Amino acid sequence: MTVRLLTNIGRLWTGSDVCSNAAILLHNDRIAWVGRAADLPQSVPGVVDDIVDVDHVENLGGALVTPGLIDAHSHPVYAGNRWAEMAMRSGGSSYSTITAAGGGIGSTVTVTRGTDPWTLCDSVRKRLREWLLSGTTTVEAKTGYHLTRDGELSDVRMLRELEKEPNMPRIHATFLAAHVVPPEYFGRQRDYVEAVGAWCGDAAAAGADSVDVYCDEGHFTTDEARWVLASGRNVGLLPRIHAGVNSRNGAVQLAAEVGCSSADLLHYTSEEDLAALARYGVPAVICPGTALQHHSRPPVRRMIDAGIPIALGTDHNPGHCGITSMSLVIALAVTAFGMSVAEALRAATLGSASALNAPDRGVLAPGRLADIVQWDADHEGAFAWAFGLKPRRVWRGGQPVQ
């Protein structure tokens, strides 16, 4: 039994309230009590093993403490980089030109397939470590760069094993074999869709939490996505969808129809799309970094006004966005999409927890996981100022991250 007391917290943003001069009592990996330090209960569940004085920030009023941030959309399992492609795109090159030059998702698939498992695992480990050190305690991590049965299942198992290592974030593993059709299935897209549907049971057994489909022009149609999502749901995987990335092709309507756990990216959406998401309560996962790369502005304010739950993600991937800092994502959401700091911070905690169907995190309350961050600031407004606010200390499950 471990009991730890965090006290002398200048400003505590719990996810549902703000408290000054606060304290948090941790019991093993959970929060036992949270509130004003003056109201700390006299009896605690055991002997307090550790008292942490969350001291005042230099020249500021007091330290800011929040729940650990949650990234609701990322692609960290890959090898190599596509920086040359980024330079071409910034110079005005079209997708077809980039693909003809050897770029695109297929190039990452080639490099990832050719990388030995130990090297790949070490690269992913280092990336996930960056998330945790920047204050993100849970990461939704997708596969999708092997596009073979054995490769994709190996990626799921790797993510599950990395999660067990010390000083790693919690992982929500998403099976994204339906990312793009691999070269060996050229001209046989239907065969590949059926194969991916058949692999879903193995992915669930390997430890996947969700199944995702990239539903867009040049990827998979709504009918193909419906097949894969149904196959995943039948074996217990939560359905997700890359929707409204480059075109309006019915992906958002499909997300509402099948009751997806999230509809992600949403760079291009219609009023009918927004109405469908609101009607069925499907969370929208917004990834500001990639949206800005695509020169798009998802209608976040209209989503909020319509009552659509909002979550935030980095969309870290080798072809568009290298962000691993959710505090930077919060700043971009505020500056580019007109969210308030409170709305963006809530979307990066409670909102992302809801999109991942993880009610045990995202808020500092009794019974929830003790995933906690002390920031180098005395007020949450610093997220909008710093563009990548740094944490001073991070606790995952009540244990300090080294």
Q: What is the CATH number of the domain that holds 240?
A: 3.20.20.140
- The pLDDT mean for the chain works out to 94
Confidence of residue 2 (pLDDT cuts 50, 70, 90): confident
Identify the pLDDT of residue 244: 81
**Same-domain check for residues 181 and 90:** yes
**Same-domain check for residues 250 and 143:** yes
Q: What is the pTM of this model?
A: 0.96
Element (H, E) at 290: helix 288-293
Domains contained in the chain, number: 2
**Same-domain check for residues 286 and 375:** no
Contact 200, 156 (CB under 8 A): no
Identify the pLDDT of residue 62: 73
Beta strands in 14-118 (DSSP E): 18-27, 30-36, 50-53, 64-67, 69-71
Residues whose CB is less than 8 angstroms from the CB of residue 76 and which lie 6 or more positions away in sequence, other chains included: 124, 127, 128, 139, 141, 142, 316
**Same-domain check for residues 31 and 122:** no
Q: In what order do the strands lie in the sheet with 170-178?
A: 69-71, 136-142, 170-178, 210-214, 238-243, 262-265, 284-286, 310-312
**Same-domain check for residues 216 and 324:** yes
pLDDT for 58 beyond 50: no
**Same-domain check for residues 136 and 221:** yes
Structure tokens at 223: 């009918």
Domain that holds residue 241: 69-355
Confidence of residue 79 (pLDDT cuts 50, 70, 90): very high
Mean pLDDT of the 293-308 span: 95
pLDDT for 66 beyond 80: yes
Between 42-46, 171-175, 390-394, the lowest mean confidence (pLDDT) is in 42-46
Identify the pLDDT of residue 57: 46
Contact 230, 222 (CB under 8 A): no
CATH number at residue 32: 2.30.40.10
Element (H, E) at 293: helix 288-293
Confidence of residue 46 (pLDDT cuts 50, 70, 90): low
pLDDT in tens, 240-295: 999 988 767 899 999 999 999 999 999 989 999 999 999 999 999 999 999 999 89
**Same-domain check for residues 31 and 162:** no
Residue 289's closest CA among 249, 259, 255, 324?
324
Sole residue written with tokens 């969350």: 54
pLDDT for 50 beyond 90: no
Task: Report percent pLDDT > 90 for the chain.
Answer: 86
